[in-house]
Amino acid sequence: MSDSIIYPKALAKGNLIAITAPSSGVSKPLHDVLKQAKCVLEELGYRVVEGNTIWSQHKCVSASKKVRAQELQSFLLDEHVSAIIPPWGGEFLMEILPLLDWELLKATAPKWILGYSDISTFLFAYTLLTGFATAHGTNYIDLRSATPSVISSRWAEVLGTGANESVEQVSSDLYQSSWDFPKPGFNLDTPTVWKILGKEDDPTYEQQMTGRLIGGCLDTISILIGTRYAPVQEFSQQYCHETGMVWYLESCEMNAAELYRHLWQMKHCGWFENTNGVLIGRPAGYSPTQDFGLQDALHQVFDNLHIPVIYEVDIGHVPPQLTLVNGAFAHVSSSAGKGSIIMSYT
């Protein structure tokens, strides 16, 4: 068994990108946003094939779990498809995991899969179970803007980077404080400040960390704890025994107490063993719990592990967001509220 991460072939103009909805689809009143996204991708020089699942939505999902699993797997096995981008996240992607033929997927050349929110449930499991790299970043709906965020639009460069090559991304200048969906584009209105846990009052302090990236949306990947779809320690031993890991985590609907409970569970299941650092994205839908806040949760979980934490990072539901590759070797640096991540596909 290989102990090296396997990276999909670099995405190039003219390649075929498949759009499928393994979690939520898009209801009829919003079909125009799918058409807009397709036009933008085609203008960028890619070919697009759309699955049937993206056009419907009922009881939080695009179709039955069987149909969703079949369509996703068919695109994963299609040698003509170079990348897969779901329209957006959702709620119940975990339902399809038992229906996929994992042995067949392991034996098939990987292709890039890009997304976040509930899509990270699949990205996380797919990388852990196969050793194939996946990309946590912008979704299909957000690609429809003719003038996207410079940060979020780096997805094409990240997916266009080949094995044994590197790509660098830097923190944004501004982030978007609220959504105006379905209006395309981002309204970046608030200064971005990456914060180093315990060093918030020292602008001269520089935090660096290195390791293989792994992570996703805390709301959804944490439900995989204890299942066969999250062999974190086996992944760490096989692929990260020399490099260690850098976790990246973001949240969508959690208050401070919920964040603490989920991180506490991950900690006591051994997920943060062999970890050199943690990146926490700007939390969406967040509120403190009485006088207990995000910083309290992070201190409670990571202080006695002596794991450095950088938070308010450009990851996840509060745009713009970096495109982070599960399995890539990362060098992260942050000081004075800014940061950079260099990912090497080794």
For residue range 36-87, what is the model confidence (pLDDT) as tens digits? 999 999 999 999 999 999 999 999 999 999 999 999 999 999 999 999 999 9
User: Of all residues in the chain, what percent carry a pLDDT higher than 70?
Assistant: 99
pLDDT, the chain, mean: 96
CATH architecture of 170-344: 3-Layer(bba) Sandwich (3.50)
3-state helix vs strand vs coil in the chain, percent to 5: 30, 25, 45
Which CATH number is 16-163 given? 3.40.50.10740
For residue range 207-223, what is the model confidence (pLDDT) as tens digits? 999 999 999 999 999 99
Low-confidence winner among 145-154, 217-226, 284-293, 329-338 (lowest mean pLDDT): 145-154
Task: Specify the pTM.
Answer: 0.96
What pLDDT shows up at residue 148? 65
Q: Which amino acid is at 322?
A: L
Q: Which amino acid is at 39?
A: C
**Hey, where are the domains in the chain?**
16-163, 170-344
For residue range 237-254, what is the model confidence (pLDDT) as tens digits? 999 999 999 999 999 999
**Is 170-344 in the same CATH topology as 16-163?**
no
| Contact by Cβ (8 Å): 304, 275 | no
For residue range 15-31, what is the model confidence (pLDDT) as tens digits? 999 999 999 999 999 99
Return d(Cα 145, Cα 147) in angstroms, integer.
5
